[in-house]
């Protein structure tokens, strides 16, 4: 059995677009006719440029190869061009293709992917959700309203979720770390207070920041929200500054989580070695795929750290996350996005029931991708999957992060 053909589908989830402006799905077919699906979570170049990179990585390192030889193909891609260092774009391309290989192997052997990766450790996986506006809540006001966030949290609790994530500190700026405005700290405290009041001790608070702050600014913010007992402080400083993140971890009491923007075990090992975080959040469509994710989990296990796979993408990456989560002992929880489009794209094959996910038992990833639906929503915009604003922190007029929602018309 050899890898033979590749198709890349760029699909744009309809409004409100939770999961990003577009999802890059890869369909890989063997010479024996078995099809595997993967998803690439890489956004440093536009989707058409990414299509070319995925095609090149497949042709150069994978076409004609046995899909079992994942370690060999990884080393080819990782070392290409005399690099042997983490490259988020190349590894993002490889990640989706690697996930497709596991889907193929599972289908070939009639077994779910988790059965091929050490077996099923967990019969169900704790899910968490970002707080999104409820029907009737105005989106433009939601992101700065503690009361609306509390209502959304209460709704998530009623659906069985035991952890909710929110990001009230804004802005999401490309300028790197900045000192938070005092109003941002006040707003963050208000969000934590309102959400804690709404959920009591029945759900954990997951505080996100998207790497916005300086070291001192993150410490100030962490100390301010600590009284509400957040389970984690996500990316308190830019993710490339491991030393600064370690200082934040030491000087404020909220546990630090990171990993959405990291790739390969090399970058995650640096985080663990520095004591910068004890909750790792690999996005398997960027981190290197399932096998690399398994290695990251093993590093974390040796460091007494836990894994919480990140998701701001489509349901194919989510399926991969679920199989990783099912096979490791140090899973904390897995991010989940529940929209009609997410569900329909995999024909409802994986669901969240009362706040938990049951790993699928069907062969491969256990999903059936609705290819016609994916192709019916082509991406026609100009933006990247996620983007950061150029404007700096607004110390006079207030800040907001709109939950990753694309602007109207893009």
Between CA 66 and CA 272, with CA 359 as vertex, the angle to 5 degrees is: 75
Return the CATH number at 354: 3.20.20.120
Residues 338, 357, single domain; the answer is yes
Q: Judge whether residue 410 has pLDDT over 60.
A: no
Residues 167, 241, single domain; the answer is yes
Instruction: List phi, psi (to 5°) of 53.
Output: -65, -45
Q: When comparing pLDDT for 24 and 410, which is higher?
A: 24
Residues 42, 135, single domain; the answer is no
Q: Judge whether residue 406 has pLDDT over 70.
A: no
Residues whose CB is less than 8 angstroms from the CB of residue 148 and which lie 6 or more positions away in sequence, other chains included: 133, 134, 137, 141, 142
- For residue 203, being part of any structural domain is answered with yes
Q: Judge whether residue 404 has pLDDT over 70.
A: no
- For residue 398, being part of any structural domain is answered with no
What pLDDT was estimated at residue 171? 87
Range of the domain at 23: 3-110
Lowest-confidence segment of 80-89, 324-333, 399-408 by average pLDDT? 399-408
What pLDDT was estimated at residue 153? 98
Q: Judge whether residue 400 has pLDDT over 90.
A: no
Residues 122, 146, single domain; the answer is yes
* pLDDT, averaged across the chain: 96
Number of domains in the chain: 2
- Give 405's pLDDT tier (boundaries 50, 70, 90): low
Q: What is the mean pLDDT of residues 47-71?
A: 98
Q: What is the largest CA-CA distance in the chain?
A: 63
Identify the DSSP state of 75. H
Residues 245, 335, single domain; the answer is yes
Q: When comparing pLDDT for 140 and 253, which is higher?
A: 253
Residues 120, 97, single domain; the answer is no
Q: What is the mean pLDDT of residues 169-191?
A: 94
Summarised one tens digit per residue, pLDDT across range 64-73 is: 999 999 999 9
- Give 409's pLDDT tier (boundaries 50, 70, 90): very low
Q: Is the peptide bond before 18 cis (omega within 30 degrees of 0)?
A: no
Burial of 250 (0-12, 13-18, 19+ CB in 10 A): exposed
Residues 87, 182, single domain; the answer is no
Lowest-confidence segment of 17-26, 220-229, 393-402 by average pLDDT? 393-402
- For residue 104, being part of any structural domain is answered with yes
What pLDDT was estimated at residue 43? 82
Residues 274, 345, single domain; the answer is yes
Residues 276, 324, single domain; the answer is yes
Residues 129, 73, single domain; the answer is no
Summarised one tens digit per residue, pLDDT across range 266-300 is: 999 999 999 999 999 999 999 999 999 999 999 99
* CA-based torsion, 342, 77, 268, 167: positive or negative: negative
For the entire predicted model, the pTM comes to 0.97
Cα–Cα distance for residue pair 362/376, rounded to 1 Å: 26
What pLDDT was estimated at residue 140? 87
- For residue 392, being part of any structural domain is answered with no
What pLDDT was estimated at residue 1? 97
Q: What percentage of residues in the chain have a pLDDT greater than 70?
A: 98
Return the CATH number at 17: 3.30.390.10
Residues 68, 155, single domain; the answer is no
Cα–Cα distance for residue pair 221/184, rounded to 1 Å: 9
């Amino acid at each position: 059995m050899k890898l033979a053909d590749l198709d890349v589908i760029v699909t744009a989830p309809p409004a409100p677009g939770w999961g990003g402006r577009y999802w890059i799905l890869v369909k890989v077919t063997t010479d024996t006719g078995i099809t595997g699906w993967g998803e690439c979570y890489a956004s440093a170049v536009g989707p058409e440029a990414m299509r070319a990179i995925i095609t090149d990585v497949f042709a150069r390192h994978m076409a004609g190869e046995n899909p079992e030889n994942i370690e060999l193909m990884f080393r080819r891609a990782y070392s290409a061009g005399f690099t042997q260092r983490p490259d988020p774009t190349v590894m993002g391309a490889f990640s989706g293709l690697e996930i497709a290989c596991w889907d193929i192997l599972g289908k070939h052997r009639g077994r779910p992917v988790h059965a091929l990766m050490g077996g099923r450790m967990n019969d169900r996986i704790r899910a968490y959700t970002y707080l999104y506006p409820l029907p009737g809540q105005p989106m433009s006001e939601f992101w700065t309203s503690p009361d609306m966030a509390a209502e959304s949290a209460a709704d998530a609790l009623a659906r069985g979720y035991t952890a909710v994530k929110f990001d009230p500190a804004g802005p999401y700026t490309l300028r790197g770390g900045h000192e938070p405005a005092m109003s941002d700290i006040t707003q963050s405290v208000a969000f934590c207070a309102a959400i804690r009041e709404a959920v009591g001790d029945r759900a954990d608070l997951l505080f996100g920041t998207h790497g916005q702050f300086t070291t001192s600014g993150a410490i100030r913010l962490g100390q301010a929200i600590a009284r509400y007992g957040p389970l984690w402080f996500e990316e308190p400083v830019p993710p490339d500054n491991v030393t600064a993140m370690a200082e934040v971890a030491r000087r404020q009491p909220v546990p630090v989580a990171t990993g959405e923007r990291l790739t390969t075990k090399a970058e995650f090992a640096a985080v663990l070695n520095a004591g910068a975080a004890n909750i790792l959040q690999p996005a398997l469509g960027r981190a290197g795929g399932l096998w690399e994710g398994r290695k990251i989990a093993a590093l974390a296990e040796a460091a007494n750290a836990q894994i919480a796979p990140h998701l701001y993408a489509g349901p194919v990456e989510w399926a991969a996350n679920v199989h990783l989560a099912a096979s490791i002992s140090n899973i904390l929880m897995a991010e989940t996005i529940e929209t009609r489009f997410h569900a329909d794209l995999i024909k409802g094959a994986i669901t969240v029931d009362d706040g938990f996910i049951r790993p699928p038992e069907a062969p491969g990833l256990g999903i059936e991708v609705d290819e016609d639906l994916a192709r019916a929503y082509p991406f026609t915009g100009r933006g990247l999957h996620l983007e950061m604003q150029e404007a700096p922190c607004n110390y006079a007029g207030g800040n907001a992060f709109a939950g990753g929602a694309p602007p109207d018309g893009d």
